[in-house]
Each structure stands twice: as structure tokens, then as C-alpha cells.
Amino acid sequence: MATAAGNGASAGAAATIDGGIGVAWHDDGSIVFAGPVDALPWHPTIGTPERGCLVPGFVDCHTHLPFVGWRADEFEARLRGVSYKELHGGDGGIFRSARLFAAASDDEVLEFSRPLLHEMATHGTTALELKTGYGLSVDQELRAARLARRLAEEARQTCVVTLLAAHAVPAGMSRQEWVRAACTELIPEAGRRRLADAVDVYVEDIAFSIEDLEAIATAAADAALPLRVHADQLGDSGTAAAAARLGARSADHLNHCSPEGVSALAGSATVAALLPASTFFLRGRPAPVRSLRDAGVPIALASDANPGTSPVVSMPEVIAMAAGVYEVPPLEALTATTVNPASVLGLADRLGTIEPGKRADLVLLEETSFAQVPYRPGHDPVVATIVGGELVPP
């Protein structure tokens, strides 16, 4: 039986309690006791499974929900040799998802996204990020944030909304024109209306520059919103170091992060959010996990759930890909999918570990060893998910 250790982002491993863990919580879902089962203050009501492993609920700190529609044909085209950048340049990719989003009604977007949130819950995700980014205009981005807030209110999970203020340069606008609109209209308006909890930027040669990132970081700070950054995914642009310098909560992807980028992250409070599923689907270069670990950079693992590069919503699947593609050992993956992403989302004081005062967000796994999760990809290891003390129905 295992619980993740520590408070806030940690580069350390998980602590385990063998021989039976008991967790008790109040009606409001807050934990009052976590420790050896013999010391439980009252009789178990949810159950006493013969075997298994109880871990904190998974926290998915990087998703692109809400969106509407899949892009499996692009996945097939990539397998025939067309590159992600070519699809992006040819009206596909992010632009296609933006067209689908603009053409769909609010209800259609919600009806598409809702079952994915439920699927996440049944696979053990008890808190997650929702991100805009398929709006590509001030009005549509604000609409995406509003729909994300709607989903967050309905969902059993704790959800945090990130405004991906710069994802692709909208047609008919220059990069500079969009960054100006994002900084002077979109971010201030989202801040005023409390539609977002953080701001994100996609820095890439097909998207935005470090200069754009700096402008957006200033606008985010003015709106009192923390920063997240898509960094060095398709090439090394020095963005990991910029994210660290700007005090971003996380630098995400990091496939092409340089040794200088690793050092900069090590000297900062920025968490490395790694997304092995998109690396797997793009057959991309793996992030420098060993260097990050050796430098003591805290690592989070997330799904990057999106219709283009990662149609994956299951954290057990992500943990399996983290093992297969990134060589992340099981208990390190547990820390990277619970306490560390909770800190990326600013939720570490409320969830991410099993301890008194935190929310009873728990996952019961069928085997006693957490290693079973990455060991059997494709097999669902989750017996039960408990969110805020309540069992998620299958």
C-alpha cells in the first residue's frame, strides 16, 4: 500500500505503508485520519479489499479539454509520412480543431467533453487542468474559458482552468497583432471575469516566440495569473530557461530541452511537466529525463489530452508510456502524477497526498505493487476511484 510523500513539488520518491492502510474522512470529504488500518478511528464503510494498493487520486496537470471532434485521419496521415508541422501549415492541426470548436454549439462542446472527464475519473483522475486554445479569437477564447468553467462546475473532479492565450497565430493576423490582442484584451478580460486560473503560451517556430512569451507573462502577472509554458516540444528554442527565468509554474513537454535549460530549471521553482503520450504519438525525441532527475528538477507527468498529438485521457496509460518511452520508474511516476502536478495546479495544500486536512481523493488499484500499473499497459488497473470521499460510479 502506498501514499505519496511530501508537500509541494518534490523530486523524491513515494512513502509506502505495508500491511493495510486505513483512511477516514468527514462528510465534507476532508481526510481526518490516514495510517495503519488497525488504528482507524471507526469501522470502514466503503470496504476492506483483500488486496490492492491505495494511492492518492491522479492529478492531470496538462490537458487541452474542452475540445470537440477527433483527428484520427491526421494520425493516419502522419503514419504515411506527413509531418505534424505540415498538417498544421495546411489548415489541419490546431486550426482544424478551432474550426470545429467555432462551428459547434456550446452544448455540442459540452456533450463531447463531458464523457471524457468521466472516463478520466474512472481511470483514477481526481483533479485536472482544463485549457482553452482552440478559440483563436478573443471571443472564442473567452467562450472556451466559460465552457471550461461550466465543465469544472459539473465535474466531480477538482478542475483548474488555464487560458492558452497563444496557441496558433489566427488567420489574417500577424503574430504581433495577436499577441497585442491577447495582452490588452483577452488576458485582462479573462482575469476580470475570473474565467482562468493560469495563462499558458505555446512557444515554437510554428507558433510564438520568447519575446511573445515575455509580453504575455507581463500581462498574466498584471492579471495576477500564474504562468505555464509549452516549451521546447518540437525544437530547442531556449524556452525552458525562459520559463524558469519568468517564474512559470511549469515548463511542459521539454523534448528538446538543452543542458542549459535543465540547469535553469534546476535553479528555479518551475516543475518539468512531461507528456510522454504526445511523444509516443508523434514518435518524438524523449525529454532528457535522466538529466532533469540528476539535476533535482521536480517532474510531473500529464496526459496532454488533445485530438492532435495525444488522444489519451488515462493516467495509468500515461504512466505506462512514461515507463516505456521515458524510463520513469513506477514510484517516481506516482509522485509525478499526484503531489507534483498538484503543485503545478496550485492545489498542493488541498490534494495530491493522503493526509489529514486534504481531500479524500483516492484510487484503489487491484494489485499490491504500483509497478503493475506500467507493467500492463492497456489493462485498466483501477478498482475504484473516490473523489472528495465519494465513490465514482463505473
Where along the sequence are the contacts to ligand NIG (CB under 6 A)?
A: 64, 93-94, 97, 202, 230, 233, 278, 304, 306-309
Phi-psi sector, 314: left (phi>0), alpha (psi -120 to 50), beta: beta
Nearer to ligand NIG, 230 or 256 (CB): 230
Give me the least distance between CB of 278 and ligand NIG, in Å please. Answer: 5
Tell me the window of 116-124, 214-222, 298-306, 321-329 that interacts with Fe ion (CB under 5 A): 298-306
Report the C-alpha gap between 373 and 380 in whole angstroms. 8
Nearer to ligand NIG, 305 or 328 (CB): 305
Cell matching residue 26: 468527514
Question: Which partner from the list Fe ion, ligand NIG, none does 93 bind, CB cut-off 5 to 8 Å by kind?
Answer: ligand NIG
Report the C-alpha gap between 124 and 320 in whole angstroms. 14
Report the C-alpha gap between 69 and 72 in whole angstroms. 9
Q: SS3 breakdown of the chain: % helix, strand, coil, rounded to 5?
A: 40, 20, 40
Give me the least distance between CB of 94 and ligand NIG, in Å please. Answer: 5
Give me the least distance between CB of 80 and ligand NIG, in Å please. Answer: 17
Contacts of 147 (CB under 8 A, 6+ apart): 66, 106, 109, 110, 113
Give me the least distance between CB of 312 and Fe ion, in Å please. Answer: 12
**CA distances to 118, 225, 246, 330 from 218, in Å:** 36, 10, 9, 38
Nearer to ligand NIG, 123 or 253 (CB): 253
Report the C-alpha gap between 346 and 343 in whole angstroms. 5
Q: Which residue's entry shows cell 475540445?
A: 67
Nearer to Fe ion, 231 or 246 (CB): 231
Nearest residue to 220 (alpha-carbon basis) of 201, 233, 203: 201
Nearer to ligand NIG, 175 or 350 (CB): 175
Question: Which partner from the list Fe ion, ligand NIG, none does 202 bind, CB cut-off 5 to 8 Å by kind?
Answer: ligand NIG
Nearer to ligand NIG, 97 or 113 (CB): 97
Give me the least distance between CB of 14 and ligand NIG, in Å please. Answer: 27
Q: Which contiguous run of DSSP H or E holds residue 232?
A: none
**CA distances to 73, 90, 206, 282 from 79, in Å:** 10, 17, 21, 9
- The distance from CA 381 to its chain's CA centroid, rounded to whole angstroms, is 20
Nearer to Fe ion, 197 or 304 (CB): 304
Biggest alpha carbon–alpha carbon distance for the chain? 66
Give me the least distance between CB of 140 and ligand NIG, in Å please. Answer: 15
Tell me the window of 283-291, 297-305, 318-326, 341-349 that interacts with Fe ion (CB under 5 A): 297-305
Question: Which partner from the list ligand NIG, Fe ion, none does 308 bind, CB cut-off 5 to 8 Å by kind?
Answer: ligand NIG
Give the SS3 label for residue 113: helix
Question: Which partner from the list Fe ion, ligand NIG, none does 316 bind, CB cut-off 5 to 8 Å by kind?
Answer: none
**Whose CB is nearest to Fe ion?**
304
Tell me the window of 66-74, 106-114, 265-273, 304-312 that interacts with Fe ion (CB under 5 A): 304-312
8 Å CB contact between 360 and 30: yes
Nearer to ligand NIG, 75 or 375 (CB): 75
Give me the least distance between CB of 252 and Fe ion, in Å please. Answer: 6
Question: Which partner from the list ligand NIG, Fe ion, none does 60 bind, CB cut-off 5 to 8 Å by kind?
Answer: none
User: Which residues here bind Fe ion, judged by CB under 5 A?
Assistant: 304
